[in-house]
Amino acid sequence: MTSASLNGQPATADDLRALALANYGHFTSMQVRDGAVQGRALHRRRLEEATQGLFGTRLDGDDALKQAARAMQEAGLRDASLRITVFSTRFDYRDPARSVTPDVLVSLAPPSSPDKPALRVKSYPFVRPLPQYKHVGTFPLFHYRRQALADGYDDALFVDPAGQVVEGSIWNLGLWDGETVTWPEGPALRGTAERLLRQALEEVGVPQRCGPIPLAELGRYRAGFACNASGLQPVVAVDGVAWGLDTALMGVLKKALDVMPWEPLA
Protein backbone atom coordinates (compact mmCIF):
# COMPACT_ATOMS: atom_id res chain seq x y z
CA MET A 1 0.00 0.00 0.00
CA THR A 2 1.34 3.42 -1.00
CA SER A 3 -0.95 5.57 1.18
CA ALA A 4 -4.27 5.60 3.03
CA SER A 5 -6.65 8.41 3.94
CA LEU A 6 -9.77 8.42 6.10
CA ASN A 7 -12.51 10.92 5.32
CA GLY A 8 -10.01 13.04 3.43
CA GLN A 9 -7.26 13.01 6.09
CA PRO A 10 -4.18 10.78 6.47
CA ALA A 11 -5.24 7.56 8.22
CA THR A 12 -3.56 6.57 11.48
CA ALA A 13 -3.31 3.20 13.20
CA ASP A 14 -5.89 4.37 15.75
CA ASP A 15 -8.28 5.24 12.91
CA LEU A 16 -8.07 1.70 11.58
CA ARG A 17 -8.49 -0.10 14.90
CA ALA A 18 -12.26 -0.52 14.49
CA LEU A 19 -11.84 -2.09 11.06
CA ALA A 20 -9.14 -4.45 12.32
CA LEU A 21 -11.09 -5.57 15.39
CA ALA A 22 -14.70 -5.64 14.19
CA ASN A 23 -13.98 -6.52 10.54
CA TYR A 24 -17.33 -5.06 9.47
CA GLY A 25 -17.54 -3.07 6.27
CA HIS A 26 -17.45 -3.29 2.50
CA PHE A 27 -15.25 -2.05 -0.33
CA THR A 28 -14.78 -1.61 -4.04
CA SER A 29 -11.52 -1.81 -5.98
CA MET A 30 -10.51 -0.37 -9.32
CA GLN A 31 -7.61 0.44 -11.60
CA VAL A 32 -6.97 4.14 -12.23
CA ARG A 33 -5.19 5.25 -15.37
CA ASP A 34 -4.42 8.92 -15.98
CA GLY A 35 -6.94 9.82 -13.27
CA ALA A 36 -9.79 7.87 -14.89
CA VAL A 37 -11.59 4.56 -14.31
CA GLN A 38 -13.85 2.26 -16.26
CA GLY A 39 -17.30 1.49 -14.84
CA ARG A 40 -17.47 4.50 -12.53
CA ALA A 41 -21.25 4.20 -12.18
CA LEU A 42 -20.91 0.54 -11.20
CA HIS A 43 -18.54 1.43 -8.36
CA ARG A 44 -20.76 4.30 -7.20
CA ARG A 45 -23.82 2.04 -7.10
CA ARG A 46 -21.93 -0.71 -5.26
CA LEU A 47 -20.78 1.74 -2.58
CA GLU A 48 -24.26 3.17 -2.08
CA GLU A 49 -26.19 -0.13 -2.08
CA ALA A 50 -23.79 -1.94 0.25
CA THR A 51 -23.72 0.96 2.73
CA GLN A 52 -27.51 0.91 2.89
CA GLY A 53 -27.52 -2.87 3.25
CA LEU A 54 -24.82 -3.14 5.95
CA PHE A 55 -25.29 0.09 7.91
CA GLY A 56 -28.88 1.07 7.12
CA THR A 57 -27.83 4.54 6.10
CA ARG A 58 -27.07 6.53 2.98
CA LEU A 59 -23.65 7.14 1.45
CA ASP A 60 -23.02 9.58 -1.37
CA GLY A 61 -21.04 7.41 -3.77
CA ASP A 62 -20.00 10.39 -5.87
CA ASP A 63 -18.51 12.05 -2.79
CA ALA A 64 -16.56 8.86 -1.95
CA LEU A 65 -15.13 8.79 -5.47
CA LYS A 66 -14.22 12.47 -5.19
CA GLN A 67 -12.35 11.70 -1.97
CA ALA A 68 -10.44 9.05 -3.90
CA ALA A 69 -9.60 11.58 -6.62
CA ARG A 70 -8.27 14.02 -4.01
CA ALA A 71 -6.19 11.25 -2.42
CA MET A 72 -4.68 10.50 -5.83
CA GLN A 73 -3.90 14.19 -6.38
CA GLU A 74 -2.34 14.64 -2.94
CA ALA A 75 -0.19 11.54 -3.49
CA GLY A 76 0.93 12.92 -6.86
CA LEU A 77 -0.40 9.86 -8.68
CA ARG A 78 -2.20 9.49 -11.99
CA ASP A 79 -2.11 5.66 -12.11
CA ALA A 80 -2.86 3.36 -9.17
CA SER A 81 -4.70 0.37 -7.79
CA LEU A 82 -7.37 2.08 -5.72
CA ARG A 83 -9.60 0.68 -3.00
CA ILE A 84 -12.46 2.46 -1.23
CA THR A 85 -13.51 0.80 2.03
CA VAL A 86 -16.62 1.86 3.93
CA PHE A 87 -16.72 1.03 7.64
CA SER A 88 -17.17 2.95 10.91
CA THR A 89 -14.65 4.02 13.50
CA ARG A 90 -17.63 4.13 15.91
CA PHE A 91 -18.99 0.68 15.14
CA ASP A 92 -19.49 -1.42 18.29
CA TYR A 93 -19.66 -5.16 17.63
CA ARG A 94 -21.41 -5.51 21.03
CA ASP A 95 -24.25 -3.29 19.79
CA PRO A 96 -24.29 -3.67 16.00
CA ALA A 97 -27.86 -2.32 15.69
CA ARG A 98 -26.81 1.13 16.92
CA SER A 99 -26.92 3.70 14.15
CA VAL A 100 -23.49 4.85 12.99
CA THR A 101 -22.12 7.21 10.37
CA PRO A 102 -19.92 5.32 7.91
CA ASP A 103 -16.34 6.38 7.27
CA VAL A 104 -14.58 6.29 3.90
CA LEU A 105 -11.07 4.85 3.72
CA VAL A 106 -9.13 5.35 0.49
CA SER A 107 -6.03 3.22 -0.02
CA LEU A 108 -3.62 3.46 -2.95
CA ALA A 109 -1.15 0.92 -4.28
CA PRO A 110 0.91 0.55 -7.48
CA PRO A 111 -1.15 -0.15 -10.62
CA SER A 112 -1.71 -3.77 -11.60
CA SER A 113 0.17 -5.19 -14.57
CA PRO A 114 -2.06 -6.12 -17.54
CA ASP A 115 0.06 -9.21 -18.20
CA LYS A 116 -0.94 -12.00 -15.84
CA PRO A 117 0.01 -15.69 -15.86
CA ALA A 118 -2.50 -18.41 -16.66
CA LEU A 119 -4.26 -20.03 -13.71
CA ARG A 120 -4.66 -23.68 -12.80
CA VAL A 121 -7.37 -23.83 -10.16
CA LYS A 122 -8.76 -26.39 -7.75
CA SER A 123 -12.41 -26.61 -6.73
CA TYR A 124 -13.64 -26.50 -3.13
CA PRO A 125 -17.16 -26.66 -1.69
CA PHE A 126 -17.90 -23.15 -0.42
CA VAL A 127 -20.41 -20.32 -0.83
CA ARG A 128 -19.49 -16.93 0.58
CA PRO A 129 -21.90 -15.40 3.13
CA LEU A 130 -23.90 -12.38 1.92
CA PRO A 131 -22.50 -12.73 -1.61
CA GLN A 132 -24.45 -9.67 -2.79
CA TYR A 133 -21.96 -7.46 -0.93
CA LYS A 134 -18.22 -7.07 -1.46
CA HIS A 135 -17.67 -7.13 2.29
CA VAL A 136 -14.41 -7.25 4.21
CA GLY A 137 -15.04 -10.75 5.59
CA THR A 138 -12.42 -12.30 3.31
CA PHE A 139 -10.97 -14.94 5.66
CA PRO A 140 -12.43 -18.01 3.86
CA LEU A 141 -11.49 -16.66 0.43
CA PHE A 142 -7.81 -16.49 1.30
CA HIS A 143 -7.95 -19.69 3.34
CA TYR A 144 -9.07 -21.69 0.30
CA ARG A 145 -6.66 -19.82 -1.95
CA ARG A 146 -3.83 -20.77 0.40
CA GLN A 147 -5.08 -24.37 0.43
CA ALA A 148 -5.06 -24.44 -3.38
CA LEU A 149 -1.45 -23.23 -3.42
CA ALA A 150 -0.52 -25.92 -0.89
CA ASP A 151 -2.19 -28.48 -3.16
CA GLY A 152 -0.08 -27.41 -6.15
CA TYR A 153 -2.57 -25.09 -7.87
CA ASP A 154 -2.67 -21.33 -8.40
CA ASP A 155 -6.07 -20.45 -6.94
CA ALA A 156 -9.41 -21.75 -5.68
CA LEU A 157 -12.75 -22.16 -7.45
CA PHE A 158 -15.92 -22.42 -5.35
CA VAL A 159 -18.75 -24.89 -5.84
CA ASP A 160 -22.18 -24.71 -4.17
CA PRO A 161 -23.89 -27.63 -2.36
CA ALA A 162 -25.62 -28.66 -5.60
CA GLY A 163 -22.25 -29.12 -7.33
CA GLN A 164 -22.58 -25.96 -9.41
CA VAL A 165 -19.59 -23.71 -10.07
CA VAL A 166 -20.20 -20.22 -8.63
CA GLU A 167 -17.01 -18.09 -8.53
CA GLY A 168 -13.29 -17.95 -7.85
CA SER A 169 -11.64 -16.78 -4.64
CA ILE A 170 -11.51 -13.09 -5.60
CA TRP A 171 -12.66 -13.28 -9.20
CA ASN A 172 -15.57 -14.24 -11.42
CA LEU A 173 -15.30 -17.09 -13.90
CA GLY A 174 -16.28 -16.92 -17.55
CA LEU A 175 -16.46 -19.97 -19.82
CA TRP A 176 -16.09 -20.17 -23.61
CA ASP A 177 -17.47 -22.84 -25.94
CA GLY A 178 -16.09 -21.29 -29.12
CA GLU A 179 -19.11 -19.07 -29.78
CA THR A 180 -20.66 -17.94 -26.51
CA VAL A 181 -19.40 -16.68 -23.14
CA THR A 182 -21.24 -18.41 -20.29
CA TRP A 183 -21.40 -16.93 -16.80
CA PRO A 184 -22.08 -19.38 -13.96
CA GLU A 185 -25.34 -18.75 -12.15
CA GLY A 186 -25.44 -19.06 -8.38
CA PRO A 187 -24.71 -17.40 -5.03
CA ALA A 188 -21.66 -15.30 -5.92
CA LEU A 189 -20.45 -11.73 -5.80
CA ARG A 190 -21.23 -10.21 -9.18
CA GLY A 191 -18.07 -8.15 -9.57
CA THR A 192 -17.87 -4.75 -11.22
CA ALA A 193 -15.31 -6.23 -13.63
CA GLU A 194 -17.77 -8.93 -14.65
CA ARG A 195 -20.59 -6.40 -15.07
CA LEU A 196 -18.35 -4.14 -17.11
CA LEU A 197 -17.19 -7.02 -19.31
CA ARG A 198 -20.77 -8.13 -19.87
CA GLN A 199 -21.63 -4.64 -21.09
CA ALA A 200 -18.55 -4.60 -23.30
CA LEU A 201 -19.30 -7.98 -24.88
CA GLU A 202 -22.86 -6.87 -25.57
CA GLU A 203 -21.52 -3.72 -27.24
CA VAL A 204 -19.32 -5.71 -29.64
CA GLY A 205 -21.91 -8.42 -30.29
CA VAL A 206 -20.33 -11.43 -28.56
CA PRO A 207 -23.12 -13.84 -27.47
CA GLN A 208 -23.50 -14.44 -23.73
CA ARG A 209 -25.63 -16.54 -21.45
CA CYS A 210 -25.98 -17.11 -17.71
CA GLY A 211 -26.97 -20.45 -16.25
CA PRO A 212 -26.12 -23.23 -13.80
CA ILE A 213 -22.77 -24.88 -14.58
CA PRO A 214 -22.20 -28.28 -12.97
CA LEU A 215 -18.57 -28.82 -12.03
CA ALA A 216 -18.77 -32.22 -13.73
CA GLU A 217 -19.60 -30.57 -17.07
CA LEU A 218 -16.68 -28.14 -17.35
CA GLY A 219 -15.05 -30.44 -19.87
CA ARG A 220 -17.55 -29.43 -22.55
CA TYR A 221 -16.10 -25.91 -22.68
CA ARG A 222 -13.03 -24.91 -24.68
CA ALA A 223 -11.56 -22.25 -22.40
CA GLY A 224 -12.05 -20.23 -19.25
CA PHE A 225 -11.00 -16.87 -17.86
CA ALA A 226 -11.01 -14.95 -14.59
CA CYS A 227 -11.94 -11.28 -14.25
CA ASN A 228 -11.69 -8.90 -11.33
CA ALA A 229 -10.61 -5.35 -10.58
CA SER A 230 -6.99 -6.08 -11.51
CA GLY A 231 -7.91 -7.28 -15.00
CA LEU A 232 -8.32 -10.46 -17.05
CA GLN A 233 -6.51 -13.74 -16.54
CA PRO A 234 -6.76 -17.01 -18.50
CA VAL A 235 -7.88 -20.11 -16.60
CA VAL A 236 -6.27 -23.10 -18.28
CA ALA A 237 -7.32 -25.92 -15.96
CA VAL A 238 -9.84 -26.80 -13.26
CA ASP A 239 -9.05 -29.93 -11.25
CA GLY A 240 -8.48 -32.58 -13.93
CA VAL A 241 -10.00 -30.58 -16.80
CA ALA A 242 -7.26 -28.96 -18.93
CA TRP A 243 -8.12 -26.38 -21.59
CA GLY A 244 -4.82 -24.75 -22.41
CA LEU A 245 -4.36 -21.08 -23.28
CA ASP A 246 -6.81 -19.60 -25.78
CA THR A 247 -5.00 -16.45 -26.92
CA ALA A 248 -7.73 -15.63 -29.44
CA LEU A 249 -10.36 -15.56 -26.69
CA MET A 250 -8.24 -13.32 -24.48
CA GLY A 251 -7.77 -10.98 -27.44
CA VAL A 252 -11.54 -10.80 -27.98
CA LEU A 253 -12.13 -9.97 -24.30
CA LYS A 254 -9.45 -7.28 -24.19
CA LYS A 255 -10.69 -5.74 -27.43
CA ALA A 256 -14.21 -5.61 -26.01
CA LEU A 257 -13.04 -3.86 -22.85
CA ASP A 258 -11.19 -1.28 -24.95
CA VAL A 259 -14.61 -0.12 -26.17
CA MET A 260 -15.70 0.92 -22.67
CA PRO A 261 -14.97 4.55 -21.77
CA TRP A 262 -12.55 5.76 -19.13
CA GLU A 263 -14.18 8.39 -16.92
CA PRO A 264 -12.56 10.83 -14.48
CA LEU A 265 -12.83 9.77 -10.84
CA ALA A 266 -14.27 13.16 -9.94
Do the Cβ atoms of 35 and 78 come closer than 8 Å?
A: yes
CA–CA dist 251, 87 (Å, integer): 38
Do the Cβ atoms of 124 and 159 come closer than 8 Å?
A: yes
pLDDT at 90 (0 to 100): 80
CA 248 to mean position of chain CA atoms: 24
What are the backbone dihedrals phi and psi of residue 24, each rounded to the nearest 5 degrees, phi first?
A: -125, 115
List the one residue out of 141, 133, 251, 122 whose CA is nearest residue 189: 133
Do the Cβ atoms of 99 and 217 come closer than 8 Å?
A: no
CA–CA dist 226, 171 (Å, integer): 6
CA 205 to mean position of chain CA atoms: 24
Do the Cβ atoms of 148 and 155 come closer than 8 Å?
A: yes
- For the chain, domains (ranges, CATH) are 3-109 (3.30.470.10), 119-260 (3.20.10.10)
pLDDT at 213 (0 to 100): 97
What are the backbone dihedrals phi and psi of residue 4, each rounded to the nearest 5 degrees, phi first?
A: -145, 140
Helix, strand, coil percent values for the chain (each to nearest 5): 30, 30, 40
pLDDT at 187 (0 to 100): 96
Q: Which residues of 200-232 are buried (b: 16+ CB within 10 A; e: fewer)?
A: bbeeeebeeeeeebebeebeebebbbbbbbbbb
Per-residue pLDDT tens listing for the chain (266 residues): 679 999 999 998 888 888 888 889 999 999 999 999 999 999 999 999 999 999 989 999 999 999 999 999 999 999 999 999 999 888 776 776 677 889 999 999 999 998 899 999 999 999 999 999 999 999 999 999 999 999 999 999 999 999 999 999 999 999 999 999 999 999 999 999 999 999 999 999 999 999 999 999 999 999 999 999 999 999 999 999 999 899 999 999 999 999 999 999 99
CA–CA dist 235, 155 (Å, integer): 10
